[in-house]
């Protein structure tokens, strides 16, 4: 709460440099534009504000005065746009998680405190982020979710902003993680004129293969005897750290680059009967499958596996793999609705029937999924020429300890862009760095948390890059225990990593430098 008050004071102190509204908020209800309907326009006074989707008893946020606009873009893309009374002349739209279905009110708070106009959409349907029933028989909802919703929201935002402030934003930005990271890369690839700067966190951009090769694959690996209860996850995490933590020269509970780690979980195999201090053969096999990912019979990688390290903690394997029992981890709860309602359009579909291989004259279900949905869902096009040509800037980041989306997926996409530009040459890397940088975050789980330094601000570096030409050569991240910062580290543009200088505290970012690793 104290931080929010400080930010609010800073906004108000700098109000003289900001733009003010040119008409009352309530008059925006009468905006007329093709395909756009404003359903509500209400002035909100400065002070405590309880988010519409807040849990019972949640503390309100202290916000500056703003105009709260709600609207719908045909056919069903609902959005909200919050415009501060004293505006910094910029727009920062925010993304979603999971299968969306609701407006990300919580993510709109920080942009508003910074003086931005900020917006979010439910992506064209209403439902829980693990619900897919909305999709069956509604292709337009699927298309809006997969491709169109952020684009039409951005267009609507600018219509409303023009009407309220009498001018367009000087700069427009988008920030999303997970599904929001997927939305971010959809924007950069397909709608390059919407935003000047984009932040794509832990993106689910290779959507069909992620749902096949992570959600479904892991749900199958944990089926039956392969299920790993939450009580055994610290066992795996501790064994990985004991084997690999010091490989980066620092023993700190964080693997700087887990690709160096070749820990074999067979060392945890129970020698006699099962106990809490060992894994059964089925559980060992499940861990191996999770780390290696699925391959075809010919040995081709269908989708990269997760990487060892950072399994423990509330945001780690306990949430994504174990859940509250078999079939309740997020991989099952997120993945299976997609296949039931969007891929096969059958609520009774059995995930154990999925065909990873071609059977006689029948294609594999991988081919079927890619053919049916890949064109609208997969944001894997490396051609960012149009975005670069208008001087757009893209920052992508990914946690090395992400238990949901493989960090190798982000590396693969980055390398594909470099290859298209210059065939992996020095020229290709240099040209890519001019507009697109990837930051890998050691020890960070999915979109945050984990043992690493995973608290950072990507917005300010993006602003500096877009508005002043100052490229982000490093970004300082921190780790906190009980809200007290106990470690800082630099995040470095891939393929560089943070290297300790050999002197000074390893908990102080100033004692590190960004350099190419010995291992690549």
Q: What is the DSSP letter of 130?
A: T
- In this structure, what are the phi and psi dihedrals at residue 88, rounded to the nearest 5 degrees? -85, 10
- Give percent helix, percent strand, percent coil of the chain, each to the nearest 5: 40, 20, 40
Helix (H, G, I), strand (E, B) or coil at 205: coil
Side-chain-side CA neighbours of residue 420 (13 Å): 13
* Terminal C-alpha separation, the chain: 43
Residue 178 a catalytic site member: yes
Rounded Cα–Cα distance for residues 468 and 245 (Å)? 39
Rounded Cα–Cα distance for residues 155 and 431 (Å)? 30
Partner residues linked to 173 by β-bridges: 92, 197
278 token code pair: 């060992």
Sign of the Cα torsion 245, 249, 254, 257 reads negative
Q: Which of 331, 398, 446, 479 is catalytic?
A: 446
Q: Are 306 and 290 in contact (CB under 8 A)?
A: yes
Query: Exposure of 238 by Cβ count < 10 A (0-12 exposed, 13-18 middle, 19+ buried)?
Result: middle
Rounded Cα–Cα distance for residues 182 and 97 (Å)? 10
Q: Are 221 and 289 in contact (CB under 8 A)?
A: yes
Q: Strands 117-121, 36-44: parallel, antiparallel or unpaired by DSSP?
A: unpaired
Q: Which of 172, 178, 401, 454 is catalytic?
A: 178
Q: Which of 110, 157, 365, 402 is catalytic?
A: 402
- In this structure, what are the phi and psi dihedrals at residue 292, rounded to the nearest 5 degrees? -90, -30
Residue 402 a catalytic site member: yes
Distance of CA 54 to the CA centre of its chain: 21
Catalytic residue list: 178, 402, 446
């Amino acid at each position: 709460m104290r931080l929010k008050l400080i930010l609010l004071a800073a906004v108000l102190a700098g109000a003289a440099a900001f733009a003010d509204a040119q008409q009352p908020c309530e008059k925006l209800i009468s905006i007329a534009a093709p395909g756009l309907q404003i359903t509500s326009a209400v002035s909100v006074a400065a002070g405590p504000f309880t988010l519409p989707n807040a849990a019972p008893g949640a503390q309100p946020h202290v916000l500056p005065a703003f105009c709260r606009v709600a609207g719908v873009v045909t056919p069903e893309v609902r959005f909200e746009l919050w415009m501060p009374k004293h505006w910094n002349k910029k727009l920062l739209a925010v993304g979603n998680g999971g299968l969306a279905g609701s407006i990300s009110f919580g993510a709109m708070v920080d942009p508003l405190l910074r003086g931005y106009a900020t917006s979010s959409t439910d992506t064209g349907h209403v439902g829980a982020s693990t619900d897919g029933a909305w999709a069956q028989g509604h292709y337009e909802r699927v298309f809006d979710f997969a491709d169109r919703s952020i684009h039409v929201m951005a267009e609507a935002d600018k219509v409303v902003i023009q009407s309220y402030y009498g001018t367009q934003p000087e700069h427009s930005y988008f920030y999303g993680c997970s599904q929001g990271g997927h939305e971010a890369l959809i924007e950069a690839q397909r709608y390059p004129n919407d935003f000047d700067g984009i932040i794509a966190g832990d993106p689910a951009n290779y959507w069909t293969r992620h749902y096949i090769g992570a959600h479904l694959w892991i749900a199958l690996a944990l089926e039956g005897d392969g299920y790993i209860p939450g009580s055994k996850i610290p066992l795996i995490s501790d064994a990985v750290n004991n084997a690999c933590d010091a490989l980066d020269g620092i023993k700190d509970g964080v693997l700087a680059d887990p690709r160096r780690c070749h820990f074999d979980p067979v060392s945890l195999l129970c020698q006699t009967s099962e106990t809490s201090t060992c894994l059964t053969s089925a559980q060992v096999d499940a861990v191996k499958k999770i780390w290696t990912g699925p391959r075809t019979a010919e040995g081709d990688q269908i989708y990269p596996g997760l990487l060892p390290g950072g399994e423990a903690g509330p945001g780690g394997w306990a949430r994504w793999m174990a859940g509250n029992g078999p079939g309740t981890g997020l991989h099952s709860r997120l993945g299976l609705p997609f296949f039931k309602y969007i891929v096969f359009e059958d609520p009774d579909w059995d995930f154990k029937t999925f065909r990873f291989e071609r059977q006689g004259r029948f294609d594999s279900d991988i081919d079927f999924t890619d053919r049916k949905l890949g064109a609208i869902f997969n944001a894997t096009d490396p051609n960012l020429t149009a975005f670069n040509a208008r001087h757009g800037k893209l920052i992508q980041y990914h946690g090395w300890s992400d238990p949901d989306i493989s960090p190798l997926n982000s590396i693969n996409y980055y390398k594909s862009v470099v290859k298209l530009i210059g065939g992996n040459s020095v020229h290709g890397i240099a040209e890519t760095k001019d507009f697109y940088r990837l930051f890998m975050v050691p020890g960070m789980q999915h979109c945050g948390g984990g043992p690493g330094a995973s608290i950072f601000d990507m917005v300010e570096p993006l602003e500096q890059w877009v508005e002043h030409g100052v490229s982000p050569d490093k970004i300082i991240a921190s780790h906190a225990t009980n809200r007290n910062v106990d470690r800082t580290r630099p995040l470095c543009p891939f393929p560089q990593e943070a290297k300790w200088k050999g002197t000074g505290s390893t908990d102080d970012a100033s004692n590190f430098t960004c350099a190419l690793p010995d291992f690549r």
